[in-house]
Structures are given as C-alpha cells and as structure tokens.
Amino acid sequence: MPLSMAPPAALAFPRISLTTMPPPIIALPDRADTMRPPPPSLVLRHAAPKHKAVVVMGATGTGKSRLAIDLALRFGGEVINSDKMQLYDGLDVATNKVTPGECAGVPHHLLGVVSCPDDDFSAADFRREAARAAAGAAARGRIPVVAGGSNSYVEELVEGDRRAFRERYDCCFLWVDVQLPVLRDFVARRVDDMCRRGLVDEVAAAFDPRRTDYSRGLWRAIGAPELDAYLRSTGAGEDERELMLAAAIDEIKSNTSRLACRQRGKIQRLARMWRVRRVDATEVFLKRGAAADEAWQRLVAAPCIDAVRSFLNEDQECSMVAAAGKASVFASAAGNASVFATTAVV
C-alpha cells in the first residue's frame, strides 16, 4: 500500500521518553590545561634564494686560471684565487701568478694579499676571506669564480663551518683534467719557460742565507727550497755551480710533477663527494700555437661555458616547468568542473 494511502496509525512513530535518554557527556578541560598559556603562533620561514658560484679545479699547469677568466668574461664574474702560494706577495714567477694582462680586466681576489712571507694562512683563514670575497661579488651582481690548485682550501670553503658556503651558494664544479704523462712533459717545458722569465733571479733576490726552514709561508713554494743549495754555493767553481743549478731545476720539475699527481688524486676524491663536470684537455697540451688555442676553445672553454650557462639558467627552467605543471593541473581541474556542471544540469 502506498504511504500516501496508509491510515494515520500506520504513519505513527514510536515515542521515545526523554527521561530514559542518557545525559549528554560534556568533557571539561583539565585545570592544568586552563592554566597553560596558548601555543605560540606558527612562523613560516622561507629560505632565502641562493646565489650561484663556480669552482674550477685541476692539477697545476692544466689551465685553471685561463678557464676561470674565460668564464668570468662570458658571464660577468670575479675570480677568487684558491692557490695557497699565490696568496702571498712575492715570487710571482715561482708561484705562476696571472699577470695583469692575462687578467683581461677581470677582478681577482686573494692574489698577493699576504704581505709577510713567513705567515701561515690556514684553510680556515681562506674559508673566511673567500666567503667574504664571494659575498662582495654576489652583492655586485657578479658570479664568484673560485679557481686554484689548493684543493684542501676548496674543500674547507665548501664543506667547512657546517657547510655555510653551500647554504648560501649553489655551486657548479668544473675539473680541467690532463693525462699525467702529457702533463709531466708540459710541466717540464713550463719550468724551463719560468727560468727564462727570471725564476732563478727572483728566488735569489729573496734568498736569505740565515733561513733554514722552508716549511712555512711562501717559502714552501716549489723553487725556493730546491734552489737553496745552489744559492749557497757562491764559493764553488763555475762548472760546479752550473751542475748544481741543473740539478735544482730537475728537482723543481720532479716536485711539480709529484704535486700534480697528488692534486689529481685529491680532485678524484672530491669528485666522488660532489657533482663535478670533468673536461679532458689532454689534446690541447699535445698541440702548439694556434692549434692549441683552437683545441682549448673546442674542448675546454665551449663545454664549460655551456655547462655554466645551463647551471645559471636552471632555476628559471625549473620555474617554467613548475608553472607549466600548475597550468596543466588547473586545466584538468577546469575540465572536471565542466563535467560536473554538465552532470548537474542533466
């Protein structure tokens, strides 16, 4: 029988006595809770956007300074020296400092800034001063380009002080590598060129016969300890002195090659810690003159410029991807809304 035709008695619902219903349970706050102060308001902290920095690594003689200047010229950078011997004022030839002409107008920091050759400049000192130089460059809208062969300094900058540098900067790590046999030959030729540019006279001018300790400060630079015996042999015959000088130069070449091998080993360790882009410059060092310059541009400069360009643009690319993702989500939501609206109309 339809409900509309049922007699009134059929529609009656059973009566429920209110007196039989259990009283409502009301939870009262604990007295201690009423005395407790309200929780502090939640403060949302947004991480400040990071600056960008480029780190150029490589064994001695591989062209780190040249690449750093190439990148600084292309992207508006300032070079921060990370070679512990080039920090000192003096022995410019022995320490292979870049000349003003080679700098090509690019500002350089921490180059020849330690005036006392006996002072020690620790890795922590470098971290502090390099971070200050990088902050100044970033404040001027420039890209800090850290370049030098002292990998212990670079590691301290990046990983030291609870990784404060990594908190402020996204880093692009570049490694200019050369096969060791080829690099040894180049280093030998470069030492001969340094001698032609006045290496021996430069060390002789700074020589002090009272000095016996070459383990501190600038005096650790390759060239100073090796020439000590020759510079003391003023009373020996000319032939003997020539033999001593030749032995000292050979020792400079050997010690520089050993340094390059140690540096390469340290970079290999750092490359396992960091995301490092390696470029092989071996072919460059097998050529001479214009052919070497062409190989440098093709094999080293161009790939590194492309890598740094992508690194500098990756935030913008990520923003574009994120915006595209949001647009597709909104389009999907709009499509769903139209379906719901059509369903509602129907």
Domains of the chain: 51-314 (3.40.50.300)
pLDDT band for 42, please (50, 70, 90 cuts). Answer: very low
Gap between the Cα atoms of 113 and 89, Å rounded: 6
Looking at 6-10, 67-71, 121-125, 138-142, which range is the least confident one? 6-10
Residue 159 has a pLDDT of 97
pLDDT in tens, 182-210: 999 999 999 999 999 999 999 999 999 99
Classify 281 in phi/psi space as left (phi over 0), alpha (psi -120 to 50) or beta: alpha
pLDDT band for 317, please (50, 70, 90 cuts). Answer: low
Taken in order 232, 238, 243, 246, the sign of the CA dihedral is positive
Mean pLDDT of 289-303: 97
The answer to whether residue 84 scores a pLDDT higher than 50 is yes
The answer to whether residue 17 scores a pLDDT higher than 70 is no
pLDDT in tens, 150-176: 999 999 999 999 999 999 999 999 999
Mean pLDDT of 265-273: 96
8 A C-beta contact, residue 300 and residue 279: yes
Residue 314 has a pLDDT of 83
Residue 11 has a pLDDT of 39
The answer to whether residue 24 scores a pLDDT higher than 50 is no
Looking at 5-9, 180-184, 239-243, 268-272, which range is the least confident one? 5-9
pLDDT higher for 280 or 21?
280
Residue 26 has a pLDDT of 42
pLDDT band for 2, please (50, 70, 90 cuts). Answer: very low
8 A C-beta contact, residue 194 and residue 67: no
Q: To the nearest whole percent, how much of the chain has pLDDT over 90?
A: 76
Tokens standing for residue 343: 């369903």
Mean pLDDT of 85-101: 97
Residue 39 has a pLDDT of 53
What number of other Cβ atoms are within 10 A of residue 118's Cβ?
A: 12
pLDDT in tens, 130-156: 999 999 999 999 999 999 999 999 999
Gap between the Cα atoms of 53 and 311, Å rounded: 10
Residue 49 has a pLDDT of 81
**What one-character-per-residue DSSP string does 115-132 give?**
--TT----HHHHHHHHHH
Tokens standing for residue 96: 């292979």
What number of other Cβ atoms are within 10 A of residue 270's Cβ?
A: 19
Gap between the Cα atoms of 151 and 123, Å rounded: 10
Residue 176 has a pLDDT of 98
The answer to whether residue 212 scores a pLDDT higher than 50 is yes
Residue 310 has a pLDDT of 97
pTM of the prediction? 0.78
Mean pLDDT of 246-260: 98
pLDDT band for 44, please (50, 70, 90 cuts). Answer: very low
pLDDT band for 264, please (50, 70, 90 cuts). Answer: very high
